[in-house]
Chain A
Amino acid sequence: MSYVIHGKTGDWEVVIGLEIHAQIISKSKLFSGAATDFGSEPNSQVSIVDAAMPGMLPVINEYCIEQAVRTGLGLKARINLHSVFERKNYFYADLPQGYQISQYQHPVVGGGKVILDLPDGTTREIGIERLHMEQDAGKSLHDQDPRRSFIDLNRSGVALMEIVSKPDMRGPEDAGLYLKKLRSILRYLGTCDGNMEQGSLRADVNVSVRKPGEKLRTRTETKNVNSVRFVMQAIEHEAQRQVDAYESGGTVVQETRLYDAGKGETRPMRAKEFAHDYRYFPDPDLLPLELTDAYVEGIRKSLPELPDDKKLRFIGDFGLIPYNASVLVSEKDIADYYEKFVAEVLVRTKLPKERIGTECANVVINDLLGHLNKAGLDIAKSPVTPQMLANLQALKHDNTISGRIAKDVFEIMVETGKDPADIVAEKGLKQITDTGAIEAAVDKAIAANPTQAAQYKAGNEKVAGWFVGQVMKATQGKANPGLVNELLKKKLKD
C-alpha cells in the first residue's frame, strides 16, 4: 500500500509519526489519591496535591507503574529497570504546578513495535520509539464567558502513557490502522479504555512530506486529534497543505497546529510569543524508579493473549484466512464471542474445528457484525448469544433447516432475541426431507413447465437451476436443496 500525493512537480511521499496520550486505567491519579472518573462536577476530583497547593508533594501510584510496564510488554518493548521522573516546566492555566511531571531522558519503556494487519492479509511493522508515564493537565473552558476562561482540574494529575511511534507510517490508512491496532492492544491489556471521545486516547500527529528518496523535511505537529477519522483527515489535509506550500515556492515551518474538524483543515495554534524551553530536570520530590527483572517477569506472566498471537492461533486452529482472523481478533470481545461460538457448535455437531472454523467466522463477520454495525451495537450488547447462534448452526448441520432458511431465522433472532429452534417451530420452517413430498413438488414443477423441461432434455443443463428455484418457491424454501437437485436431475432426464 503506498499513498502518494501527485503534485505539479512530481510525486510526494508522506511521513507520519504519532504521539499517543493514553489515559491509564486506574482508580486514583498518578501522584495523588483523587479519583479519575470521567464527567464529574468541576474540581470535585481534585486533591490539594493536584491543585499544587504550597508544600504539596507527589507520591506515585504503584498500579500505574504496573499498567505502564504491562503496556510496554504488550508492545513487545524493552522495559527500562531504571527510569526517572523529570519536570517539564511551562506556564498554563490548567497546569497548576507550573510543570508537568513526566519522563524525559529515561523513560520506563524503550523501543517496541506494533504490527498492522493490512486489508490484503499482509502485515507491516511500525516501530515504537518509547513509552513514558506523565501527568495529565486540567481542562480549560474558553467558550463559557466573553472575557474569562474557566479551569477545571479534575483531569489534573491523571496518569497518562505517552506512546511515541517511529516515523514509520506513510499515509492516512497506515495511521488509521496503527491507531486502531494500538487501541486494540491497550484494550486487551486493560491498561487504557481507548475512548477517544472522552479523551482517554488522544493523538498528536507529526507529518512531513518529501520526494521519494529524500531525507526528512520539516514536520508539523497537529495536537490532540480525537478520532481515528480525524487523524486520517488531518494527515490528508496537512500533507496536501505542505505539498502546496513547497510547490508554490513556499516553505513549511516547524510548528504546532490544531485540527479543525468542522472545516476539515489544520491551522497553526495562536502564535506563541514565548519560545518553548521546557527546562527539564529530574524531579527532586521523587527518586528514580527502580524495577527488578522479577517484577517485570511477574507482569509478563500475567499478560493476556494479545491480538497478534490470537490471530496466529485462529489461523492455525480454525483454518482461517489471515484477513478473517485479524477482523475477529480486532476486539477481544469479538474474538471471545467467536471462540465460544465455535466451541458450542463443536459440542452440537461433533465436527472437527477446522471444518467449521471458516463457516463460523463468516457467520460472525458477515451476519452478526454486519447486523451489529447497522444497529450501532457492541458485540457485548448482541441480542444473539453464541449459544443461540450455535443452535442455529446445529439446525443447519443436521438438515433441520436449509442455509437459505437459516438466514431468515438469523434475522428473526436478532430482531426478537428468540431461540432458533422456537422460531423454526413457530414459523414451520423445518426443512422438508420427506422424499415423497419433494417428489410431488418436483413432478408438479416439471408438469407445469413443459417448455423448460424440453430445453433441459435438449442439453441446456442450466435450466435445472431454474427448476430448483421453482421447487424451493413452491415449498417456501423448506425443501432440502440436495434432495431437490437429485430428484430434478433424475426426473428431467426421464
Chain B
Amino acid sequence: MTLTDLTLAEARDGLTKGSFSAVELAKAHLAAIEAARGLNAFITPTAELAIARAKAADERLAKKTARPMEGIPVAVKDLFCTEGVLTTAGSHILDGFKPTYESTVTRKLIEAGTVMVGKTNLDEFAMGSSNITSHYGPVKNPWAPPGDKDLVPGGSSGGSAAAVAARLCLGATGTDTGGSIRQPAAFCGIVGLKPTYGRCSRWGIVAFASSLDQAGPMTRTVGDSAIMLNAMAGHDPKDSTSAPVPVPDFEAAVERGVKGLRVGIPREYTMDGMPAEIADLWRQGAAWLKEAGATTVEVSLPHTSYALPTYYIIAPAEASSNLARYDGVRYGLRVPGETLDEMYENTRGEGFGKEVRRRVLIGTYVLSAGYYDAYYLKAQRVRTLIARDFSQAFEKIDALLTPTAPNAAFAIGEKMDDPVAMYLNDVFTVPVNLAGLPGISVPAGLSARGLPLGLQVIGRAFDEETVFATARVIEKAAKFDTRPPCLKK
C-alpha cells in the first residue's frame, strides 16, 4: 500500500484504525514532495513543522481524542498567512515576510488536526490562470505527457492543484477570485470547490479582490472536498463579510444523489471555438445526471458574456487599493530611495511583477477621477445584472452544469503576449464569483491528448450540499481514476 495514494477519507480511517501513524503518513508525503521538486509546486516545504504536528496528532490518535482531520497532511496556498512561516503571495514584494498571526482558515485546519506539509506556489497575488506569474517560477502540471512540453497547472492555485494531483498531500487550500481553484483543479484532474462568498473567512488571506475572494478545498475526491470544507468553513467575527450561517455536515450530503433535482444547462456557455471534446463532455455530464434521476433544463444567463470584462474592471480596481499596503514600510521588500515617494516607487516597481503591475495600473485608472462612472460604476451595475441572471435561473433549477474551462492545460509560454486571451480561461468560472455562488470543478474525462477536463457544478448561495451531491454523481459516473503520467504505476 502506498500511503500517498490514499484519499483523505481513506487516510483518516487508516489513522483511526492504527494501520499507520500520522508521522508515517507525513513522512511519505514529505518524501514525495522532495522527489517532485521539479514540479515547483511548493515555495516553502515545512517538513519540520509537519513532523512535529504529526507527532502531536499521533498522541491524540492514541488517546482517542482525535479531531476530524487528525494527522492529515495538507498543503496551504502561499496566500494564507501562517504564523512564523514565510508567506509570499508568490511576490517579490513580500520577501522575508513571516506573519505573527495565523489566518482563520489555516487556524481552523490546525484545530481540526491537519499537518501542514508546505506552502504552495501560486500566481503572484493570485493574479493569473497559469501560475506563470509567480516570483518563484512556474509550476509544472504533473499531467504533461512525458517528453512533451511542460504544461501549466492552471492558476492561480496551481501549486496546490499540482501538489494534490501528484500525491504530495491529501488536500490543499486554494483561493478563488475568478476561477483560481476550479480552473487549476480542472487542469490537474482534481476536485476544487469555491464555496459561497462568506462561507470561509478571508481573515489572514492576502487580499486580491475583496468582494470576490473566497477560500476553498482542493482534493482528489468530492468526499474529501466535503470533509475539508467542514474544517475550513464557519462564521468569523473578524471578517465583516463572513456569513453568520450554520455549517451543515457536508460529508453527509455527498451521497445524497440527484434524484428529482432540476439541473440547468445555460445556453450562453456554448461558446464559439469551444473544443468539441469539451462540448461532448458537457453533454455527457448532463446525460450522467439524467441517468441518476435528475432532469436537465436549458436556462438562459443572458449577461454571461459580460462577466469577464466586468470582472476585469472590478478585480483590478479592488486590487489596486488592496495592494497599496505593500509600500516597503512595515514588512517585505524595501528598495531604497532618496525620498519617501521614491522609496515607494522603487519598492513597488521592483517588487511587483508585470501582471500585477498591469492590473494595479488598470485598477488605478478605472477608479480615477473622470473614469469612475464609466468603468467602475458601470461594472458594478452589470454585476447586478449577472447576479440577477443567476437568481432568476435558480427559481427554476437547483444547480447548473457547465464546463469548468474552455480548454485543457496549455504549454508554459503560450498565451503570454495577449493578456485578454489569457483572461478567457476564466470565462465559465468568473460569473460565479461575481454572483457570490458556490461552484465546484470535478474531473470528468480526458482530452484527446490525455489531459484532464473538468465539469463545473454551480449551486445556490450556501447550498454547497447540492453542489457536492451533484458533483459526486458525475465523479462516480466518470470513474476518473487516471493517474498523472509523472507518477509511476
Chain A residues with a Cβ under 8 A of chain B = 48, 51-60, 87, 89, 91-93, 96-99, 149, 151, 273-274, 277, 279-281, 284-287
Contact = CB atoms under 8 A, between A and B. Distances in A.
B202 A98 contact: no
9 contacts: A51-B330, A53-B331, A54-B81, A54-B97, A55-B202, A93-B340, A277-B369, A279-B320, A279-B367
Contacts of A53: 81, 99-101, 330-331
B209 interface: yes
B489 to A, nearest CB: 41
A151 B329 CA distance: 9
B186 interface: no
B211 A284 contact: yes
A92 B325 CA distance: 10
B376 interface: yes
Interface of B: 80-81, 87, 89, 94, 97, 99-101, 103, 202-207, 209-211, 237-241, 317-318, 320-321, 323-325, 327, 329-331, 340-341, 344, 364, 367-369, 372, 376
A48 B325 contact: no
Contact of B203 (A57, A93, A149, A151): A57
A55 B103 contact: yes
B240 A55 contact: no
Given A51-B330, A57-B203, A91-B344, A285 B325 contact: no
A58 B322 CA distance: 13
A55 B327 contact: no
Given A53-B100, A55-B103, A285-B210, 11 more contacts: A54-B87, A55-B99, A56-B203, A56-B204, A59-B237, A60-B240, A89-B324, A281-B321, A281-B367, A284-B209, A286-B240
Nearest to B210: A284
Nearest to B204: A55
Nearest to B330: A51
A254 to B, nearest CB: 15
A97 B320 CA distance: 12
Given A48-B101, A93-B329, A287-B240, A55 B324 contact: no
Contacts of B81: 53-55
Given A59-B237, A281-B367, A285-B210, A149 B324 contact: no
Contacts of B97: 54
Interface centre among A55, A149, A273, A287 (most CB of B within 10 A): A55
Main secondary structure of the interface of A (DSSP, over half): loop
Nearest to B314: A284
Contacts of B204: 55-56
Most buried by B among A60, A281, A286: A281
A174 B86 CA distance: 58
Contacts of A51: 330
A93 B339 CA distance: 11
Nearest to A49: B238
Nearest to A89: B321
Contact of A279 (B87, B340, B341, B364): B364
Nearest 5 interchain pairs by C-beta: A98-B324, A279-B367, A284-B210, A284-B211, A55-B204
Contacts of B103: 55
Contact of B341 (A91, A97, A280): A91
Contacts of A92: 340
A277 B368 contact: yes
Contacts of B376: 281
B402 to A, nearest CB: 26
A281 B240 contact: no
Contacts of A151: 329
A281 B317 contact: yes
A57 B329 contact: no
A99 B203 contact: no
Contact of A57 (B211, B240, B331, B367): B240
Nearest to B207: A55
A25 B364 CA distance: 35
Contacts of B210: 284-285
Given A54-B99, A93-B340, A87 B321 contact: yes
B340 A55 contact: no
Contacts of A98: 321, 323-325, 327
A76 B202 CA distance: 40
Nearest to A149: B340
Given A277-B369, A281-B376, A284-B209, A52 B317 contact: no
Nearest to A281: B367
B173 to A, nearest CB: 13
Contacts of B207: 54-55, 285
Contacts of B240: 57-60, 285-287
A280 B68 CA distance: 44
Nearest to A88: B321
B325 A55 contact: no
A58 B241 CA distance: 10
B341 A274 contact: yes
A281 B206 contact: no
Contacts of B369: 277, 279
B325 A97 contact: yes
Contacts of A99: 321, 324
Given A87-B321, A149-B340, A281-B321, A57 B327 contact: no
A280 B87 CA distance: 29
Interface centre among A54, A56, A96, A281 (most CB of B within 10 A): A54
A287 B341 CA distance: 32
Contacts of B317: 281
A279 B370 CA distance: 10
A224 B369 CA distance: 26
Q: Which of A57, A92, A277, A280 has the most CB of B within 10 A?
A: A57
B318 A284 contact: yes
A57 B341 contact: no
B367 A55 contact: no
B241 A287 contact: yes
A281 B372 contact: yes
Contacts of A93: 329, 340
Nearest to A287: B240
Contacts of B323: 98
A43 to B, nearest CB: 10
